[in-house]
Amino acid sequence: MNRRKFLTILGSAGVASALGTAKVAKAAGGTHTWPYYENSYGVLHDTTRCIGCRRCEEGCNKVNNLPGPDKPFDDLSVLDKPRRMTPNAWTVVNKYELDGKPVFRKLQCFHCNDPACASACFAKCFQKQPDGSVTYDGSQCVGCRYCMVACPFYVPSFEYDDAWDPLVQKCTFCEPRLREGKLPGCVEACPMDALTFGRRSDLIKVARARIKANPDKYADYIYGEWDAGGTAWMVLVPAVPAEHSLAETGHEFRALGLDTHLGNRPMGELTAGALGAVPMIVAFWPVLFGGAYAISKRREAMHKAETETIIRDAREDMANVMDAAVRKIAETQGPGVADTARQAMADALRTREETCANRGHHGEDK
Amino acid sequence: MRNGTTLLLLTAIAVAGAAYLTLGDAGPAPAAAPALASVSDAPSALVIFPVGEKPNPEGVGMKPVAFNHLLHENRVENCESCHHTGDTAACTTCHTLEGRAEGKFVTLAQAMHSPNSARKGQGNTPQSCTSCHAKQLQRPECAGCHSIVKPARSETYCSTCHNVSGLTKGDMVAGIAGSLPDGRNAELAVDTLKTRENPVQLQPADGPYKVFIDEIADQYKASMFAHRRHVASLMERVKDNSLAAAFHNQPTTLCSTCHHYSPLKDTPPKCGSCHSQRINPANPERPQLKAAYHLLCMGCHKGMNVARPLNTSCVTCHKQSEAKPADSAAAKLGGE
Amino acid sequence: MAHSIHIPTKDKLFNLGEFFTLTKGNILTAVILAGGLIITLIRFTQGIGSVTNLSDVQPWGMWIGFDLLCGVTLAAGGYFTTVACYVMGMKHFHSAVRPAVTTAFLGYAFVVVALLYDLGHWWRLPYMFFFPGTTSVLFEVGLCVATYLTVLFVEFSVAPCEWLAEKFPFLLKWRALVNRATIILTIFGVTLSTLHQSSLGSLFLIAPGKLHPLWYSPFIPMFFFVSSMAAGGSMVIFEGMFAHRGAHHYMDATHLREADEVVFSFSKAVSFILFAYFMLKCIDLLVQANTPYLCSGYGLLWLVEILGFVLLPAFLYARGSRERNLKICRFAAANTVLGIVFNRFNVSMIAHNYALPSAERYFPSIWEIWISCFVVTMIVTAYRFIVYHMPVLYEHPNFKGSH
């Protein structure tokens, strides 16, 4: 493989991949069209309504045919300790304390508008679907778990104990059920409508209306409307009365384990700059180092030429001196002696040159 | 009995003082609250006029408020609760329609209605009528309903206070100018408070005794709701509350927390008329039927600090169906 | 010459005697390899969870933090030396090129081997070429590492060709081809190295909330690249130190003569690079207004890393190359290598998930550490096999001067 051929391949790979991304974006409901995710669905989780009954966990378990839980779903003592999603429990309810009162929050995949997991996956296992769900296809999963590193919500879990087909597991938004026109299992099971299913755009209006109607009850922010570039699942959080409130804004959200430092851009954009530099380096580095090589090569050639000139000059000088000396000898002592002297001098010179050459070679690098 | 004379004298003075105080109170106190004793020399009732500096020859303005000063001064901690500067001048001295420098340009409307005031670094934080009344809604007997519903800001809401009767145009013009004689002012206020009648609420016996909620009975049996007991309990708690009596201004007001959004009458529609069992895409904000029940029951119990039953103790309100547990167990086994 | 270099002949290709003498090193190697094989068996039949402490919040542990991140970084000597020798025309480094390329090749090859331990579906590794996730930094890393491993293989292949040329003469043609393409391979190699060395840092760009602000930076790709240069130079010195101890008798006169000069030149270069790296880190600290964090436990850790493992070796290198003091240079090299490992551990494990409660934090299991040692031992063993058989530390007499 020569250099030009390789660069062509690399270059075309870059173009092809860019085209591929654009195509996927189109297929996935228009990542780069406006308005974003026009008709996608979402769920509004109103933590002021949640009573921590674990019905959502049970509903999820049932509709997804997951293995039974460690403790039965009506055993609420599990709420005493914070839990997280596992390969067999795609959603869990946790109890938090806010202003001395218990608040419950359901944990599951947030189904980001522009998911970090999908951006991070190097085998294209994750897809943002037009219906709002972020789906995972394990059939091409390599098991690198970069999705888990990338997910700002610590959502995906991995089947570490499976040697032969370990997969990443996470909430699917009950995507197969959505296609059948059914509600997600957890939403259907919630007895309090703490989970409201609907078009994401509608849910934002619903959330705003609730905040407006009860400004003392709700913190004035819809978690997930913009966080991490926006998520399909959004959370409303109870307000803490101003006189009890800490100075820090957003502490209600942090108290419920919601990260308030994610920013409002998709996480994937954070790597876009670094990836954008790749073509620059591919294009520029060979030029830079090729140039450096040419310079060093040229310098070497110049050095060689210079040395040769000096040697030639020295030889000529030596020959002139020798001729003059021989001529002098011929004048004074006759041509016979002169020949012998010339021979002797030539021999001496050759021996000397050889010695020098040897030493020179010795000191010189190959 | 060396001190007998002194003791007798002191007793006589005490009796005389008590008699004087009692008699002195009985005279000027209006009929509105004869049982209350005034702790100040303020008028028992007065009309608060929309005092303004702009010329207003026609006497155009919001109907003035007949304020029962005696009742309120017995409800608050001390005079400074309302007279926040410590000076017991009338509100309208500093707070006029347009606002004055003395009142830091807080207008009369703001001073009376502002839902909250910024906490002051020093001195009293002023409170308005509205903000103090709103605080009362957090009392347990009120918070059940009022954590779920906010009082509707309707015409009757305003006229609960803005209700002076027998007001002439001359009174109004003089009142706005701040030149109405105190005697006439008190007369107007006392007449208004005397003639005002609070509406009579529907009684517990007007509603059903028990209600069986069985529309969505499935995993659980129907829930028996002791309707009459709940209504009676609510009414019992607020029966002596004059604020509630004044503002619950319709016979059906107490019903309207649960029987909401429909024109108030004594035969309300069923919950299921609006709350569908499955989410209605046209109204995604409307709770589904099951949640509608739970949100009302649990919301009210939570607001009133009713400890029992636990939110998560399902079978306290509705017994488990016999068929269903086996079913769900089978589902669980199937899952494994 | 006083050195007993074994030149394989047509009839006697192998020289395995060194492995079967009862030395401490050989016994240790045997123990680690035997234990490693057992753990390998368990890992591949019982799952990753059976031997690691990895969890859902810490999906990357020792095997990524050490085997992959440190493995790739410490194998940077390959591109560092070839660029210095071929591109910059510093011909006196020539005898250092082959050992450096050999280590780099082994490093990368065993990075891939170690990666297989960490991957859930290790046999699906090539899937990334069939379903390329082009928005993923990991895809870029994978593509570059795969390509660079090929380049390194080609560069390295000259040595086995010379070893086996007597028996399989057709290899000479391949050797000639590779020699002609040397400069192309070198430039290609440095391009790929720049890309994936920096991208190893970019991997963490997507998780700003998880990595401590002192280590998270938009410039983290640059930090990784610059520090990889320092690692490359230091690693040549560091491994040279061990090679002199263990394989001295396989070095020819040229190698021995040039070795010290290589150390001093590289020391000077790495000293500059480390100073630059130190400045970059400090500027980043100021630009991101992270100075308040310095007063925390993590701040102390950061200071130890930056002062003790960047600034200190930078000074030591400067002094060592100035005074032509081999000892100081070697100490500085070890210091730098350790510092790089420390930095990669910080980024991938210690300062990662810093906000989580300590109960959810990760500490590698003894088996994970064993496997990491196992991989290192495999590299050392393979290196020994190569230097015992192939003209790496010496010039093959048949090919003297012909490159």
pLDDT of residue B249: 83
| B221-241 average pLDDT score | 90
pLDDT of residue A340: 87
Radius of gyration of chain A (CA): 39
Rounded distance, CA C153 to CA B222, Å? 76
C252, C5 Cβ separation under 8 angstroms: yes
List the one residue out of B155, B186, B156 whose CA is nearest residue B171: B186
| pLDDT over 80 at B11, yes or no | no
List the one residue out of B81, B64, B60, B63 whose CA is nearest residue B72: B81
Q: Which amino acid is present at C73? A: T
3-class secondary structure, C214: coil
Q: Distances in Å between the alpha carbon of C202 and those of A187, A279, B237, C344?
A: 38, 15, 65, 13
Task: Choose among A122, A148, A165: nearest Cβ to C136.
Answer: A122
CB contact set of C205 (below 8 Å; sequence gap of 6+): A270, A271, A274, C137, C218, C220, C221
What's the pLDDT tens digit per position in C331-351? 999 999 999 999 999 999 999
Task: Choose among B278, B295, B336: nearest Cβ to A192.
Answer: B295
Q: Distances in Å between the alpha carbon of C105 and those of C108, C248, C379?
A: 5, 21, 10
What's the pLDDT tens digit per position in B37-79? 666 677 888 899 999 888 888 888 889 999 999 889 888 888 8
Task: Choose among B150, B284, B294: nearest Cβ to A196.
Answer: B284
Rounded distance, CA C47 to CA A163, Å? 4
Q: Tell me what the pLDDT averaged over chain C comes to.
A: 90
| pLDDT over 50 at B268, yes or no | yes
Q: How far is C136 from chain A (nearest CA, A)?
A: 4
List the one residue out of C229, C180, C188, C223 whose CA is nearest residue C81: C229
Q: Distances in Å between the alpha carbon of C3 and those of C162, C249, C251, C387?
A: 20, 5, 7, 14
C76, C229 Cβ separation under 8 angstroms: yes
DSSP letter at C352? B
The pair phi, psi for residue A103, each rounded to 5°, is -130, 140
| C259-287 average pLDDT score | 94
Rounded distance, CA A186 to CA A55, Å? 7
Rounded distance, CA C206 to CA A146, Å? 10
Cβ B312–A76 below 8 Å, yes or no? yes
Cβ B284–A61 below 8 Å, yes or no? no
pLDDT of residue B74: 86
The pair phi, psi for residue B128, each rounded to 5°, is -95, 170
pLDDT of residue A70: 87
For residues B201, B207, B209 and B214, what is the CA-based torsion angle, rounded to 10 degrees? Answer: -130
Which chain A residues have any C-beta within 8 angstroms of a chain B C-beta? 49, 51-53, 61-62, 65-68, 76, 183, 190-193, 196-199, 202-203, 205-206, 209-210, 213-214, 217
ipTM, 2 dp: 0.91
Exposure class string for A26-44: b at 16+ Cβ within 10 A, else e: eebbebeeeebbeebbbbb
pLDDT tier at A8, thresholds 50, 70, 90: very low
Percent of chain C at pLDDT > 90 equals 70
CB contact set of C259 (below 8 Å; sequence gap of 6+): C95, C96, C240, C244, C251
Return the residue matching tokens 């919301």.
Answer: B299
Domains of chain B, with CATH numbers?
Answer: 11-195 (3.90.10.10), 204-335 (3.90.10.10)
Dihedral sign computed on CA atoms, order A251, A252, A254, A258: negative
CA A190 to chain centre: 37
Q: Which residues of A touch C138 (CB under 8 A)?
A: 120, 122, 144, 146
Exposure class string for A6-24: b at 16+ Cβ within 10 A, else e: beeebeeeeeebeeebeeb
What's the pLDDT tens digit per position in C300-321? 999 999 999 999 999 999 999 9
What's the pLDDT tens digit per position in A99-113? 888 999 999 999 999
The pair phi, psi for residue C31, each rounded to 5°, is -65, -50
Q: Which residues of A touch C122 (CB under 8 A)?
A: 142-143
pLDDT of residue B320: 87
**Residue of chain C minimizing CA distance to A262:** C209
Q: Which residues of A touch B287 (CB under 8 A)?
A: 193
Q: Residues 108 to 167 of B: which have CB under 8 A from any A CB? A: 147, 150
CB pairs under 8 A between A and B: 58
Q: Which residues of C touch A361 (CB under 8 A)?
A: none
| pLDDT over 60 at C38, yes or no | yes
For A236, the enclosing helix (H) or strand (E) is strand A233-236
Strands A168-169 and A134-136: unpaired
Rounded distance, CA B9 to CA C94, Å? 125
Cβ A143–C119 below 8 Å, yes or no? yes
| pLDDT over 70 at B297, yes or no | yes
| pLDDT over 80 at B85, yes or no | yes
Q: Does C135 touch chain A (CB under 8 A)?
A: yes
pLDDT of residue B167: 87
What's the pLDDT tens digit per position in A67-97? 989 889 988 999 999 999 999 999 999 999 9
Cβ A51–B334 below 8 Å, yes or no? no
Rounded distance, CA B312 to CA B93, Å? 55
Choose the weakest-confidence range: A181-195, B271-285, C270-284. B271-285
Cβ A206–B285 below 8 Å, yes or no? yes
Task: Choose among A66, A210, A213: nearest Cβ to B335.
Answer: A66
The pair phi, psi for residue C189, each rounded to 5°, is -60, -45
Q: Which residues of A touch B295 (CB under 8 A)?
A: 49, 192-193
DSSP of A237-294, one letter per residue? Answer: -BPPPTTT--SSTTHHHHHTT--S-S-SS-TTHHHHHHHHHHHHHHHHHHHHHHHHHH
Rounded distance, CA C323 to CA B278, Å? 84
Annotated domain spans of chain A: 34-265
Task: Choose among A84, A123, A289: nearest Cβ to C190.
Answer: A289
Task: Choose among C120, C128, C140: nearest Cβ to A275.
Answer: C140
Q: How far apart are the first and last CA of chain A?
A: 27
B66, B188 Cβ separation under 8 angstroms: yes
The pair phi, psi for residue B67, each rounded to 5°, is -105, 120
pLDDT of residue A241: 77
CB pairs under 8 A between A and C: 198
Residue A58, CB-side half-sphere exposure with 13 Å CA sphere: 18
Which chains border B (3 or more CB–CB pairs < 8 Å)? A
Which chains border A (3 or more CB–CB pairs < 8 Å)? B, C
| pLDDT over 90 at A344, yes or no | no
Q: How far is A43 from chain C (nearest CA, A)?
A: 24
Cβ A203–B336 below 8 Å, yes or no? no
Cβ C120–A3 below 8 Å, yes or no? no
| pLDDT over 70 at A158, yes or no | yes
| pLDDT over 80 at B28, yes or no | no
| C19-48 average pLDDT score | 92
Best mutation target among C64, C95, C123, C135 (most A Cβ atoms within 10 Å) is: C135
DSSP letter at B198? P
Task: Choose among A66, A191, A205: nearest Cβ to B294.
Answer: A191
Q: Which residues of B touch A198 (CB under 8 A)?
A: 279, 281, 284
Cβ A210–B285 below 8 Å, yes or no? yes
How is residue C247 written in tokens? 């394989």
Pick the CATH number of A34-265 from 3.40.50.300, 3.40.50.1440, 3.40.190.10, 3.30.70.20: 3.30.70.20
Return the residue matching tokens 């954590």.
Answer: B147
pLDDT tier at B21, thresholds 50, 70, 90: low
pLDDT of residue B193: 87
Rounded distance, CA C312 to CA A17, Å? 44
pLDDT of residue A6: 43
For A311, the enclosing helix (H) or strand (E) is helix A269-333
H helix intervals, chain B: 4-26, 69-73, 91-94, 108-113, 129-136, 140-146, 155-159, 169-177, 182-195, 227-238, 242-247, 289-303, 323-335
Q: Which amino acid is present at A30? A: G
